[in-house]
């Protein structure tokens, strides 16, 4: 009885903490929006329009489980703003998703797509479930049920979902197939990040890490006398972290630290990235890499001696409590929100610190690649892998220099304020949506 009560209270504590995180994330997004509107000198109507989504769809998805029980899952699709084009944003399957989270994420997608310079608005979807406890059959039924439920409001010209947490190309193609059955013909452009065998593009698999390294290379060439030989530490060795390490190493940088939940590996002489990827994918633990110094603490790469730090795991890993241990002069963010606003301000007060390239710019390779895949699907014409990479790199480079130029202008406009690169990125993103809404006569 005592054990049950303790477990119950522990669970309630976890739920309460998660609710606080959700609320603070939506509040943070609205705070960022408010600051961008004010810094950019935009009218109040811009905040009024962007602080609420255009549409919220809540759906129920009945699934007959393998044990014969009928379970009703709850799902959402939030369409935030489509001034620049169709709504665009991922779908996550997670037991703790909430509508508030989805609204915040959809708002963020409007801004990320705007900064990326692609013709998309912002949206986000979610289903409250635990896919890790579901069979493939159950997962397929859930995916198809969700696609049917949101079908009336999506389409290649209306809303184009993609994968997010716990979803993948297999789930996307199930959804494409279900939507196509409803239409009576193949509609590949309704979802992106599909398998290459069915209208996808192989670059999508590594586009987030690749795009982040394109940004890091441009930053190093602009501010650090080149990229080759620069020491890079990567916190998190999932998809984004692995491919960031791969492309950085391929282009001449030296990867000195990597980590996952098993621990960290540090080698000032450079890590053999392809071997590390092989070890990680075969054993699921970076700590099994046979060379270098093994460090039990997974956060170690955040604080090693390096030139460029690429936090590629989760949010809020660099805080005001540990930021003074960061030695890197440049941070590029493949992860979402790895540096807290308080920590970021402390970083910029360091004389030797160059910039924290924000996630909204640095990890946009995934959605830019989704855009390229969508263009392929609309015209039924496909580029080869090398040509696709070149197109992705060109867009990422353009957006980096556009953001840096905007940052310089914003600092000149507000000489009495500490203006971060993130501030500039959000001002540019909001301003592009503002101008689109104004031209369309919405405000």
Active-site position among 8, 31, 88, 124 = 124
What does DSSP say about strands 159-163 and 355-357: parallel, antiparallel, or unpaired?
Answer: unpaired
What gap in Å lies between CA 443 and CA 426, rounded to an integer?
20
SS3 328: coil
Backbone torsions φ then ψ of 265, nearest 5 degrees: -125, 135
Give exposure, 81-100, as e/b (b: 16+ Cβ within 10 Å): bbbbbbbbbbbbbbeebbbe
Please say if 291 is a catalytic residue: no
- Residue 199 CA: distances (Å) to CA of 33, 319, 342, 376, 387: 36, 42, 43, 8, 16
Residue whose pair of structure tokens reads 């924000």 in the numeric block: 358
C-alpha distances out from residue 430 to 41, 122, 236, 402, 420, Å: 11, 12, 30, 14, 16
The residues that bridge with 255 in the sheet, in sequence order, are 232
Q: What are phi and psi of 235, to 5 degrees?
A: -95, 115
Helix (H) or strand (E) holding 60: strand 55-64
Is there a contact between 361 and 425 (Cβ–Cβ < 8 Å)? Answer: yes
Structure tokens given for 339: 């540096």
Three-state DSSP class for 339? strand
Going by C-beta distance under 8 Å and a sequence separation of 6 or more, which residues neighbour residue 184? none
Structure tokens at 81: 């703003």
Rounded CA-CA distance 239/208 in Å is: 8
Distance separating alpha carbons of residues 384 and 194, to the nearest angstrom: 16
267's CB contacts (< 8 A; 6+ apart) are 256, 257, 291, 292, 293
Distance from C-alpha of 254 to C-alpha of 194, rounded to nearest angstrom: 32
> Catalytic positions, please?
124
């Amino acid at each position: 009885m005592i054990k049950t009560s303790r477990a119950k209270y522990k669970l309630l504590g976890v739920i309460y903490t998660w609710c606080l995180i959700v609320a603070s994330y939506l509040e943070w997004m609205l705070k960022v929006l408010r600051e961008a509107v004010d810094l950019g000198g935009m009218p109040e109507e811009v905040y009024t329009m962007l602080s609420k989504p255009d549409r919220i769809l809540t759906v129920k998805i009945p699934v007959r489980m393998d044990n014969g029980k009928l379970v009703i899952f709850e799902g959402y699709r939030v369409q935030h703003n489509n001034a620049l084009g169709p709504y665009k944003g991922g779908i996550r399957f997670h037991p703790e998703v909430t509508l508030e989270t989805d609204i915040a994420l959809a708002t963020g997608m409007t801004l990320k797509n705007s900064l990326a310079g692609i013709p998309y608005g912002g949206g986000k979807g979610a289903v409250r479930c635990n896919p890790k406890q579901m069979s493939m059959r159950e997962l397929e039924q859930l995916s198809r049920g969700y696609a049917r439920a949101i079908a009336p409001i999506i389409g290649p010209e209306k809303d184009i979902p993609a994968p997010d947490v716990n979803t993948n190309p297999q789930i996307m193609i199930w959804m494409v197939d279900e939507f196509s059955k409803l239409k009576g013909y193949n509609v590949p452009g309704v979802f992106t990040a599909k398998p290459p065998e069915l209208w996808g593009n192989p670059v999508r698999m590594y586009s987030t890490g690749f795009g982040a390294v394109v940004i890091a290379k441009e930053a190093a060439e602009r501010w650090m006398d080149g990229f080759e030989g620069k020491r890079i530490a990567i916190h998190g060795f999932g998809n984004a972290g692995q491919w960031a390490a791969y492309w950085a190493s391929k282009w001449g940088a030296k990867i000195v630290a990597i980590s996952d939940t098993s621990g960290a590996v540090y080698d000032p002489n450079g890590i053999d990235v392809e071997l590390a990827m092989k070890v990680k994918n075969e054993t699921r633990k970076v700590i099994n890499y046979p060379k270098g110094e093994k460090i039990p603490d997974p956060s170690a790469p955040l604080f090693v001696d390096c030139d460029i730090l690429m936090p590629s795991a989760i949010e809020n890993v660099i805080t005001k409590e540990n930021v003074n241990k960061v030695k890197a002069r440049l941070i590029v963010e493949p992860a979402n929100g790895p540096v807290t606003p308080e920590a970021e301000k402390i970083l910029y007060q360091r004389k030797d610190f160059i910039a924290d390239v924000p996630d909204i710019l640095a990890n946009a390779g995934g959605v830019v690649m989704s855009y390229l895949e969508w263009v392929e699907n609309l015209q039924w014409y496909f580029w080869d892998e090398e040509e696709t990479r070149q197109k992705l790199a060109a867009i990422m480079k353009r957006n980096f220099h556009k953001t840096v130029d905007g940052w310089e202008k914003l600092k000149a406009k507000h000489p009495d304020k500490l203006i971060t690169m993130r501030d500039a990125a959000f001002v540019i993103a909001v301003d592009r949506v503002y101008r689109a809404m104004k031209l369309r006569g919405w405000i």
